Structure 1
């Protein structure tokens, strides 16, 4: 975890971090189950978001009490969307429900509906090339008007 991640965590707060984890769990389970790669990515995201293994397990069993929260900054919105697209893509099998959920979350985060699919495709291409969220965000912002 680098200093920017720590600062983002501080700004984001525990409630938003839990909301993000709930969204990731929802994407991971959308295709009918959690595979090994999805489980590994969830654990990594939990660590990055200062969520304990016990908290993650509890969320996986029941996350109904965790409310959806829109991330506070454009940077955090993009990083969360990047994580969601990564979760959708990690098993190399894009399920229609996973894609639909990514699109819904992107719109809820404030990304323009007209460019959401193209933006998700670009994020997927960058993930496949092992390009991280920061560089991917610069590329996406340079290519399209991202926010309303």
Structure 2
């Protein structure tokens, strides 16, 4: 998903690539396994039965990546909204996060406040 989002504007910036590689590493995926993925568009495949915290992690990472190159494109916003809907959020969560997520590292308390904020957008099953 992150690679798809980074590729929407036609190029993957160095900052976007670094961010994706960092996320991969944090999830146990080595750089040499991530690099080939930049060559293709990928379907949106989400694991089933994600916890609310994992859903937040997905949408937070997408919005932070979208902001990292300091340019926002309509197609990026649409993509994030589609993923948010697939995660069970009201699509408006993307707009709230866009105004508050920073493109740089955020403090844990800031992220937790955003996690709480997004709960109101999570649809109950």
The question of 1:50 aligning with 2:28 is answered yes
- The 4+ residue runs of structure 1 with deviation greater than 2 A are 61-64, 115-122, 128-144
- Closer/same/farther in 2, CA of residues 31 and 144 from structure 1, 3 Å limit: same
Whether the aligned pair in 2 keeps the contact of 1:27 and 1:88 (CA below 8 Å) is yes
- Larger helix proportion of the pair: 1
- Closer/same/farther in 2, CA of residues 45 and 109 from structure 1, 3 Å limit: same
Q: 2:12 aligns with which of 34, 44, 47?
A: 34
TM-score of the superposed pair, with normalisation by structure 1: 0.70
Which runs of 5 or more residues in structure 2 are unaligned?
none
Which runs of 5 or more residues in structure 1 are unaligned?
1-22
How many aligned residue pairs are there? 122
SS at structure 2 position matched to 1:127: coil
Cα RMSD between the aligned structures? 2.5
Aligned equivalents of 1:30, 1:139: Cα separation in 2: 25
